């Protein structure tokens, strides 16, 4: 059984900031985790959370032991 790693972080992206992804200006999201680490991941990983006001909230990313992406969920 492999160990999973979890990184928690907050996002506060406006709709226009996220729109840059579709215009080809941005492909990744960069943020800081709750414990201060820099986190960079493909913007498409949070696309399902996009609303008219953008993407806001507290999220948890699940990674494999080898730091491969598994999932992202929005925390309550």
Quick one: pLDDT at residue 48? Answer: 93
Identify the pLDDT of residue 17. 87
Could you tell me the CATH number of the domain that includes residue 58?
2.40.50
Look up the domain containing 59 and give its range: 5-75
How many alpha carbons lie under 13 Å from residue 26 in its C-beta half-sphere?
A: 16
Q: Walk along the chain (76 residues) and give the pLDDT tens digit of each residue.
A: 568 899 999 999 998 888 887 787 778 999 999 999 999 999 889 989 999 999 999 999 999 999 899 999 999 8
pLDDT at 54: 92
């Amino acid at each position: 059984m492999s160990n999973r790693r979890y990184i928690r972080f907050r996002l506060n992206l406006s709709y226009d900031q996220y729109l840059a992804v579709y215009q080809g200006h941005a492909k990744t999201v960069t943020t800081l985790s709750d414990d201060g680490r820099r986190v960079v991941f493909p913007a498409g990983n949070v696309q399902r959370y996009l609303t008219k006001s953008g993407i806001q909230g507290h999220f948890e990313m699940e990674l494999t032991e080898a730091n491969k992406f598994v999932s992202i969920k929005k925390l309550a």
